[in-house]
Amino acid sequence: MNRIDNMFAKCRAEGRKALIMFVSAGDPSLAFTRRLVPALVEAGADLIELGVPFSDPMADGPTIQAASERALAGGANLEGILEMAEGLRRDCPETPMVLFSYYNVVLQYGVERLAAASARLGIDGWLLVDVPPEEEGEVVPILEQHGLVKISLLAPTTPPERMAEILRRAKGFVYYITVAGVTGARLELPEDLAEHLAAVRERSPVPVAAGFGVSSPEQARMVGGQADGVIVGSRLINVIQEAADEEGALQKARELVRSLAAALAE
């Protein structure tokens, strides 16, 4: 079992749902992200998605787009994120970490080179939002050679036949997108979300985590009632941006994670 499998098994044994936090690496600096991730883990985050900034993040809404722009303006790049990940692994030895990115970033670095570096530095898998199942043949075999997993994505619009094929290949966990469209905190989630999540979990060989739009403990509790994990990203970016300084941002981030983790433990 890898760190992702162990984490979900631990959550099941403790009778709670996993809290997955998306971090926009390098926003506002890699030095801040280096402090932020251990703070999130200490506060109750179970898995960290390290978002690699990209100049054309088509799956992301205004919040994460702006975070990527700030990170790129500050000089953040994949090389620096990998260097940071090495330190994060020392600080958080049991916490799964997944690189969240776009294929162009990976291709420029080199698929084999990045897979080898990821394995060496303690990254557990990749989530590539623009690599559909039909095109993952260039990626998955290399990841598997290095003991990494490619996280699969499902959406409310995924046809049943396509869903079955994606689930057949799923490793680690399935990221279920709660709403059609792009990322971003929302006041309300779809009324039929529970029905869709139940159908996916019934068919999935791996845990199912739901994200896109979860912004409050109440929403996390609702989503967690039908999923194995809940993913939060835009809300974290917002609370960090709203803080007066970095110390305040770290404190606000801890408070958010504690509130979300508490909701998922009920």
Which residues form the catalytic set?
A: 49, 60
In this structure, the number of other CB atoms found within 10 A of the CB of residue 78 comes to 19
Asked if residues 48 and 253 have their Cβ atoms less than 8 Å apart, the reply is no
Q: Which residues pair with 176 in a beta bridge?
A: 154, 210
In this structure, the number of other CB atoms found within 10 A of the CB of residue 63 comes to 20
Asked if residues 224 and 264 have their Cβ atoms less than 8 Å apart, the reply is yes
Asked if residues 178 and 223 have their Cβ atoms less than 8 Å apart, the reply is yes
- The strand order across the sheet containing 125-128 reads 149-150, 125-128, 97-101, 47-51, 18-24, 229-232, 208-211, 174-177, 152-154
Q: Dihedrals φ, ψ of 6, to 5°?
A: -65, -40
What's the one-letter identity of residue 92? C
